[in-house]
Structure 1
Amino acid sequence: MPLDTGQVDTGQVDIGQVDIGPLDTGPADLDLEEGNGVLNRDPLQSHASIGEALRAVRQDRGLTLDELAERTRVRRSYLEALEAMRLDALPSRPFTIGYIRAYALALGLDPEAAVERFKADEPVLDEPLRAPIGVPDERDPRVAAFIAGAVVIVVAIVLWNVAQRAMNASAPPPPKASEAQAWKLLAETRSGPVTLGPPLPAPVESTIPPLYETPGLAEAGPDGKGNDSAPANINDLSDAPLLDLTTLPATFTPKGKVYDSGNPQLGSLVTLQALNNAALIIRGTSGSVYFARQLAAGEAYKVPQLPGLTIDVSEPSDFQVFVAGQSKGVLPARQVLASKLAG
């Protein structure tokens, strides 16, 4: 008798459509939606680099680089370089990690996962430190020149010392007296009486030399002419040389250039006019010179009214004195006070 197993309704098992993306060995988050078994992967691991992953998420959410730069406060150029993974256009590694963290936060992603992906893509290599880009070489060329000059001087000194030692070594030694000659000279020096001279006078404590006396000055006398009488007072008008006053003009008449003190406020009563070529010097009370000139015949000088002026001339008979324009003869002496002439 045949076995009746009955009808078995097996039905159809619908497992839906399974969407399997590209094969990737990275971790994946499984998210099975209702009605189908769709496999959603981590967006940070779904591209070749972290830069491409961030760019894909940004484009998927319809954001521009300008909007993202405003959110993250990061330059747009840095965001472009980060998406293209042009690390040479970015600052140092710590800044780059900070930009990635800010980028992920702005897109609502896990910042730590983004940083880990970057570190996995770009591990730290044990490379030597590189010199900073854009730093100018501030080496002073004068330092090198100074060092070279110092080296040349030192080498020259060393060579000069070596040459001097070589010359001294090659020079013949000085001649030496024989031992017999030395003993003979020593015996001659020791023998014979020693002569002593008279004692020398004690040294003079004062080193002042004796006063110098001009030869013939004592015989010349006080007046310098062999007379015993003293010279007359230079300010005494009574000793004026006797001249024929009739040959001199009675009033002052300019016959050449007339000099004065240059100060119109200083009046003048006394005028000296040169009869011949002669020297005239006007001195003050302290010895200061107010006027000094070699006057030609006919030239004159108006003496200012200042107290204590002394008139010094080479020859008194070469100057005619005018007081208030009237002739008073010639100068009485080589040196005379101007106030005596005006009085």
Structure 2
Amino acid sequence: MSSQTRMAGFVPVDSVFSENGASYVQYSAGDRLREARAKAGLTLDSASARTRIRRDYLEALETMDTRGLPARAYALGYLRTYAGFLGIEPVGIVDQFKREVDTETGRAVPSAGAKTRDPIKLPRGVFGALLILVSVASVAWWYSEQAPSFGAIANLPSPPDAAPEWARADFQPELRAADIGSIWTGVPLGDAAAGERLTLRATAPTSLEVQDASGRILYSRSLVVGDIYQTREDGLTFSASDAGAIQLERGGVDLGTLGLAGIPVENIAVASAEPAAGELE
């Protein structure tokens, strides 16, 4: 047999000829599955048991009834498994199955182009009318914003005479001389009625702290030579790191020092300091 004769008579390995010599090439993918199963002597039930694919799925594959098949990806997976089990080349029958199913369902036939919507056509002159309306609205808005500034109902400022005195631009507060004497009204001054004032003067570096009768600190500072503390209040107590460095005066009279030189004192009254000052004289 020549090579040309062999090529002319060549058919795929999975093709089986019927009695009249027609090959499966003319059969659908479902027919090929059914014929292969019949040649193997299997029923749908036995094929389902051996492939573990539901019987109704196998039947749907053989009848190419897509309504009885699961989703497309799962159906093609079952088809590959079933074809391999029956000795049919899976890739070829899957392609044939997809092609025939798509043609039957209309997916493989180019459908008419989707009808495009006609663009909405507005009557002639609508754009011009819209532009005019927008312009009029803009002018009206601008006029409503500007009208109060020059209209008859504008918010005019109040006349100068209507404003309170303190709000006028030319208002000048009245400057009154402070009454110094009124500052001491109601303050217990003791000897202040006689005009006497107690003066503490530092004659050497020292520290001085002054407290009132309630214990509140009125004065606390480190003094240098020449520093002065004056008061008219009675009942004060004094503390100093060097009592001899504090010179006392009242009403121009020298009362001596707060204490002995180099000796610290704490919370002593002026009355108790005067005898100590007398001892130094």
Same fold (TM over 0.5): no
Query: TM bucket by the smaller chain?
Result: 0.3 to 0.5
TM, length-normalised to structure 1: 0.28
Structure with bigger helix share is 2
TM, length-normalised to structure 2: 0.33
